[in-house]
């Protein structure tokens, strides 16, 4: 397995150096769900160490298709300091990796897997793969906004961040078939030093984001807010020690099957990897009633 991973990393390094959209896929030789990884328990651990999470490069923002046969994430190549959108795809139970394109925003798949959101841009799935990069339109192309991550629910609700305006979070819903202009989430969400990289549950029942505020574990923590019966957003709850440490945690994401919670962790040395953990702890945070 170690030899296989080493050969794969050499091959993907060549792809990154000569990257273009639709770069050649490289056979990892790995079988099984979730890149053939042994599932985590209640303690978070690095996802696919030496393969997806590498010792020198920085990996962030993972996202899966509903059938769990494709995953996307971003990687900063340590040699060039350039960011790329990366892909693993399962064919006949065997995983193949490739570099999709230079990073444009942080990739987050729509719940149906047919749209790959890239901040205020996106790829649309076609019969032959992915379209060229498209714009979400003038409502989201506001040059005064800085959207790093946009996440969508099955109903079409968008949650997005804005680093150019106080690092706040915005929401855009679809009402009577009409896309509504993004508006800031309430003050109890948009508080503290900053808030960013949101994720919304496919059923609109909660949002998860990272930020820095009083009472945290140190550095950046991940928070959750559950949607109330009246449609409002409940108080911001720290995800707690199952995820948060004195390092920097960010980029939360729930797997489509609801079994695992993925997130990024950056240490004081600046190294960033993708971690995963059993998601059962999320329900213990949900308010009664």
pLDDT digits (tens, 9 = 90+) for 66-82: 999 999 999 998 889 99
The Cα 84–Cα 60 span in angstroms is 10
> 18-52 in b/e burial notation, b at 16+ Cβ within 10 A?
ebeeebebbebebeeebbbbeebeeebebbbeebb
Q: State the distance between the two ends of the chain, measured CA to CA, in whole angstroms.
A: 48
R_g (Cα) of the chain, nearest Å: 18
Note the pLDDT of residue 22.
Answer: 52
200 phi and psi, to 5 degrees?
Answer: -115, 135
Residue with the larger pLDDT of the pair 159 and 56 = 159
Please say if the pLDDT value at position 4 is more than 60: no
Q: Tokens representing 128?
A: 């032959």
Please say if the pLDDT value at position 268 is more than 70: no
The Cα 227–Cα 205 span in angstroms is 5
Please say if the pLDDT value at position 125 is more than 80: yes
Please say if the pLDDT value at position 9 is more than 90: no
Please say if the pLDDT value at position 19 is more than 90: no
* Whether 61 contacts 85, CB under 8 Å: no
The residue count of the chain comes to 289
Averaged over 273-281, what is the pLDDT? 97
Q: Would you kindly state where each structural domain of the chain is located, as residue ranges? A: 31-61+103-285
Rounded to the nearest angstrom, the gap between the alpha carbon of residue 181 and the centroid of all alpha carbons in its chain is 23
Confidence at 23, pLDDT banded by 50, 70, 90: low
pLDDT digits (tens, 9 = 90+) for 205-224: 999 999 999 988 988 999 99
Provide the phi-psi class of 113: left if phi over 0, else alpha when psi is between -120 and 50, else beta.
left
Q: Considering only CA atoms, which of 261, 254, 215, 250 is closest in space to residue 235?
A: 215
CATH says 31-61+103-285 is which class? Answer: mainly beta
CB count in 10 Å sphere of residue 215: 7
Confidence at 143, pLDDT banded by 50, 70, 90: confident
Of the listed ranges 34-48, 106-120, 129-143, 224-238, the one predicted with least confidence:
129-143
Please say if the pLDDT value at position 8 is more than 80: no
pLDDT digits (tens, 9 = 90+) for 43-58: 999 999 999 999 889 9
Tell me the percentage of the chain whose pLDDT exceeds 70. Answer: 91
Please say if the pLDDT value at position 233 is more than 50: yes
The Cα 273–Cα 265 span in angstroms is 6
CA distances from 116 to 82, 104, 106 (A): 20, 11, 9
3-state SS, residue 259 = coil
Averaged over 116-139, what is the pLDDT? 94
Confidence at 269, pLDDT banded by 50, 70, 90: low
* Whether 32 contacts 16, CB under 8 Å: no
Note the pLDDT of residue 5.
Answer: 42
pLDDT, mean over the chain:
90
Residue with the larger pLDDT of the pair 256 and 20 = 256
Token pair 């807010």 is at which residue? 225
Q: Which residues touch 93 (CB under 8 Å, ≥6 apart)?
A: 31, 32
pLDDT digits (tens, 9 = 90+) for 82-113: 999 999 999 999 999 999 889 988 999 999 99
pLDDT digits (tens, 9 = 90+) for 169-214: 999 999 999 999 999 999 999 999 999 999 999 999 999 999 999 9
- Any alpha helices (H) in the chain, and if so which ranges? 2-17, 33-36, 280-285
């Amino acid at each position: 397995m170690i030899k296989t991973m080493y050969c794969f990393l050499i091959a993907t390094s060549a792809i990154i150096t000569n990257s273009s959209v639709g770069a050649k896929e490289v056979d990892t030789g790995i079988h099984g769900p979730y890149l053939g990884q042994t599932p985590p328990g209640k303690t978070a651990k690095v996802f696919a160490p030496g393969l997806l999470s590498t010792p020198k490069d920085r990996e962030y923002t993972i996202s899966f298709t509903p059938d769990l046969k494709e995953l996307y994430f971003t990687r900063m190549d340590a040699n060039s300091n350039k960011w790329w959108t990366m892909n693993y795809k399962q064919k006949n139970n065997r995983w193949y990796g490739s570099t999709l394109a230079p990073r444009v925003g942080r990739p987050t798949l729509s719940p149906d897997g047919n749209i790959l959101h890239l901040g205020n841009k996106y790829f649309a799935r076609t019969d032959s793969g992915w379209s060229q990069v498209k714009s979400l339109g003038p409502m989201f192309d506001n040059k005064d906004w800085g959207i790093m991550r946009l996440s969508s629910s099955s109903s079409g609700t968008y949650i997005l961040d804005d680093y150019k305006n106080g690092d706040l979070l915005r929401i855009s819903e679809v009402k009577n078939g009409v896309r509504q202009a993004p508006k800031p989430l309430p003050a109890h969400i948009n508080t503290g030093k900053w808030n960013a990289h949101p994720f919304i549950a496919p059923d609109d029942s909660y949002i998860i984001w990272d930020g820095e505020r009083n009472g945290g574990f140190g550095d950046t923590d991940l928070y959750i807010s559950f949607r109330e019966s009246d449609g409002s957003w409940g108080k911001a709850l720290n995800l707690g020690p199952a995820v948060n440490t004195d390092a920097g945690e960010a980029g939360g994401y729930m797997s489509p099957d609801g079994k695992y919670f993925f997130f990024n962790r950056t240490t004081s040395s600046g190294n960033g990897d993708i971690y995963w953990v059993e998601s059962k702890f999320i329900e213990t945070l949900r308010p009664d009633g």
